[in-house]
Amino acid sequence: MTNILILKLGATGDVVRTTPLLKHLAGEISWITAGKNVSLLDGITKTLRCVPWEQREQFCDREYDLVINLEDTSDVAQFLPRVRFKRLFGACIDKGGALVYTDDARGWFDLSLISRFGKAEADRLKLENRRTYQDLIFSGLGLKFQGEKYLLPEPARTSLAGDVAIAPKAGHVWPMKNWAYYAELKTALEKRGLTVNVLPETKACCPGVPRSESGYPVFPPFSPLSYGGFPGTAVSPGRRTCKCAAAPGTTVTGTETKF
């Protein structure tokens, strides 16, 4: 049986948008992620096992045919020498101790903080890029992305119901994306006869529901937040919150709505 290891810790939205890969990878898949994201991955396929980063040593138990490292940080790359594998896709540490990436992963990492071209050129390339994250990753792996939907766990039951859900705060990484007019937007939508919910941030609300890095619940489509069995609309300032709220079948308005 083929064994594949994925290292994608966060952010939460980035983990979610990586899940379409699971529909194309044969064999047993092992995934190391951030502790807060384990609930998003646990049990979504029969051949997936998942552990938090703190328990990563558990996955040094076999040789992998392929390791996919989608993180651009030194700590994750420095873990790779502890893993036995035949092929690597993504970031790693070279013989000189520099953080680099494999040539087949250049489509994505050329746009990243560890771009071989430097940050300024990476930013320019990112601005010009019109390909999706999934397309860049899939093509580097020799696969073709065809709009496959995200894989998400079954949602917990909640009392939320309505037409529009508003997540009014961006994550701490991008505070400049906070918008001052959500109250006015809520009022305007309600005047049109729509039922609007402002999503709770506290972990005490909606227990058992996975959360984005901003603290908002992540609801797959056709959960109670999908409003009576049909998708609703999620509105958010930050792209990471959007990527979490934007389960397939849910309309999202925000700074990044193309996934």
Can you give the pLDDT of all 259 residues of the chain as single tens digits?
A: 899 999 999 888 899 999 999 999 999 999 999 999 999 999 999 999 999 999 999 999 999 999 999 999 999 999 999 999 999 999 999 999 999 999 999 999 999 999 999 999 999 999 999 999 999 999 999 999 999 999 999 877 777 788 998 888 877 767 877 888 999 999 999 999 999 998 876 553 344 455 555 555 554 443 333 333 334 566 666 543 333 334 444 444 443 333 2
Phi, psi (rounded to 5 degrees) for 78: -70, -15
Q: How far apart are CA 84 and CA 118, in angstroms?
A: 30
Tokens encoding 15: 């983990």
pLDDT value, residue 256: 38
pLDDT value, residue 243: 35
Q: How far apart are CA 133 and CA 111, in angstroms?
A: 11
What is the helix (H) or strand (E) element at residue 14, kind and residue range? helix 12-18
Q: How far apart are CA 115 and CA 223, in angstroms?
A: 39
- The CATH number given to 3-140 is 3.40.50
The single residue listed with the structure tokens 């919910």 is 197
Q: How far apart are CA 129 and CA 24, in angstroms?
A: 24
Cα–Cα–Cα angle for 119, 120, 126, nearest 5°?
85
Domain ranges of the chain: 3-140, 164-253
Residue 227: closest CA among 168, 158, 169, 167: 158
The answer to whether the CB of 14 falls within 8 A of the CB of 239 is no
Tokens encoding 102: 């494999």
Q: How far apart are CA 257 and CA 217, in angstroms?
A: 18
